[in-house]
Amino acid sequence: MGQVLSVSELEKVYEVRKTAFSINKTTIRAVDKVSFDLDKGKTLGIVGESGSGKSTLARCLMLLEKPNGGTIHFNNQNLLMIGERDLKDLRKNIQIIFQDPYSSLNPRQKIIDAISEPLRIHKIVSREQINKKVAEILRNVGIDEDSLNKYPHEMSGGQRQRVAIGRALATNPTLLIADEPVSSLDVSIQAQIINLFIGIREQSRISMIFVSHDLNIVRFICDDIMVMYKGRVLEMGRKDEVFSHPLHPYTRMLITAAHGNFCDGREKEKSNKDEGCVYYQRCELSQGLCAREMPRLVGTKEHSVACFQIDDQSIY
């Protein structure tokens, strides 16, 4: 099948002031040594709570944020080594859909112009064929031609997100990154947009990365799942394997929460040390070693976990 994306030891670090008037800074590891592969035609779901680093990771893959370390290989090309000239081709082949469709669309630009812009920039079709292509794209995402001359504020949230999806698909990308694309929508509209993503995937066999905090949505749409917490990958594997046999305590907590059951997220007494497992403060299984060292992700492509308290037989 082949890989479309290979990420190795990716890092994104921020230095922030402890207070507004302080000169002292603290280090936030938003993405901390993240590695994964994405096969052609497959969908990877990245899940975790707010602040887990999943959206920062998505922005790093698009080079909207510059990583501090690691490598990103897309179609065997190292994205961190490309020049400005090659960046245009990258934007054509990797597209991103953001959480808020209103902020991602120009409020002064009509829908026909929003969709035709990438067609013109990347010369997808001739000038004479642009309007016809725009109408086709909108039909494919469930928007009728009467909306061509509307502005974003004249459309509903679900319609705006459909336009954003159509705009992203206009360049026929190899990889589509969806960053919380339904979290700002009503539940009834969420289902429609999820079905749209499934239809796109089945018809085009496009590779996708789907970022979400909702495990129910990820389970519905993805082939593989990667669970992140405080910038680290704690568990990863095939969707059915992770859901039927969750290994990490954090993954089990997320699945319990997705089923509507209460889960206690209170942390233990914190220390000032930066080493140790990132989940140590909340883990009911934590022991001495967990406070001193961050476990490596071990296992197979089907299922791997970063936890000292999981025996090898459970993984293999």
Domain extent listing, the chain? 39-65+79-230, 251-316
Which distant-in-sequence residues (6+ apart) come within 8 Å of 273 by Cβ?
A: 291
Q: Which has the minimum average pLDDT: 2-6, 255-259, 288-292?
A: 255-259
pTM of the model: 0.89
Give the model confidence (pLDDT) of 43-101 as tens digits: 999 999 999 999 999 999 999 999 999 999 998 889 998 887 777 778 889 999 998 88
Rounded to 5°, angle at Cα 59 from 57 and 62: 115
Q: What is the pLDDT of residue 270?
A: 43
Does the domain made of 39-65+79-230 have the CATH classification 3.40.50.300? yes
Residues 82 and 35 sit within 8 Å (Cβ to Cβ): no
pLDDT at 196 over 50: yes
Provide the residue type at 279 as one letter: Y
